[in-house]
Homo-oligomer: A and B are copies of this chain.
């Protein structure tokens, strides 16, 4: 009876749109995601974005370009993504990009080092701010 439970009104928790229920426009994006990733499924991020097809299309174009082949290798890109996601405390993103990193070869030892660096950087970032450090001339 409450507006909050009416999915037609933009609730924050929208059900993922499965391939079978998707419009041709949405299916085309799902197809490209699976083809690009050489995978047979699509994760919830895309299936929930699909409620707003222009955002689905736009974000996939961004992700494909930014995370695709370039000057940084695929695993390094995932480690950077994870470092941001941990700093922002995004559980979904840690789970999804953690899986992606493992699929691209991240070892337990590399994961442990990643976590240690993320922690250390978050620590020293605050030291630098607390102490109002002046940037060294050699860094300018």
A70: chain B residues at CB < 8 Å are: 109, 113
Q: Among B43, B59, B66, B129, which residue has its beta carbon within 8 angstroms of that of A89?
A: B129
- Give, as a whole number of angstroms, the nearest-CB distance from A55 to chain B: 5
- Give, as a whole number of angstroms, the nearest-CB distance from A4 to chain B: 4
Total identical chains? 6
A131: chain B residues at CB < 8 Å are: 12-14, 48-49, 115
Interface of A is mostly: helix
Given contacts A8-B108, A80-B79, contact A138 B41 (CB under 8 A): yes
Residue ID in chain B nearest A81 by CB atoms: B121
A11 CA to B12 CA, complexed, in Å: 28
Q: Among B4, B12, B102, which residue has its beta carbon within 8 angstroms of that of A3?
A: B102
- The 7 tightest CB contacts between A and B, nearest first, are A10-B111, A52-B112, A84-B121, A4-B99, A123-B123, A10-B108, A90-B125
